[in-house]
Amino acid sequence: MYSGGYPGNVYGGMLASLLDCHGTASAAAFAYRVQGRVMGDGGPPIRFVTGSLKVDYRRPTPLGVELLIEGTLRSLEGRKAIIDLTLSAGGEVCVTGEMVAVQFAAKA
């Protein structure tokens, strides 16, 4: 079984999608923290969208093992967050990424 990539490994597009989703969620979590808030606190939600995403595939990512995705805040200035991302399988870093996330400005 495989998902469009090399048999036994996760398809690269899926890996990029996982980083994309985790990156915007990480940006929101960091923004909540900076504002002294917690998600679900009843205040207006803080949401981010992807401005850009750079993905580097370091090694094949095997299927059937737990994946660990981590987002680290590099900077948060105004509506712009830069997030460094890693995706690991079995303790090995398989994919790294850099995201520029932009806080979504909801219209009143």
- Residues 8, 13, 19, 21: is their CA dihedral positive or negative? negative
Question: Could you tell me the pTM of the whole model?
Answer: 0.90
Kindly list the structural domains of the chain, giving each domain's residue range(s) and its CATH number in brackets, ordered by start: 12-103 (3.10.129.10)
Q: pLDDT value at position 100?
A: 98
Contact 79, 103 (CB under 8 A): yes
What tens digit of pLDDT does each residue of 56-84 get? 999 999 999 999 999 999 999 999 999 99
Torsion of CA 85, 88, 92, 98, to 10 degrees: -20
Q: What is the pLDDT of residues 95-105, one digit of tens each?
A: 999 999 999 98
What's the pLDDT score for residue 107? 67
Q: What percent of the chain has pLDDT over 70?
A: 93
Per-residue pLDDT at 1 = 44
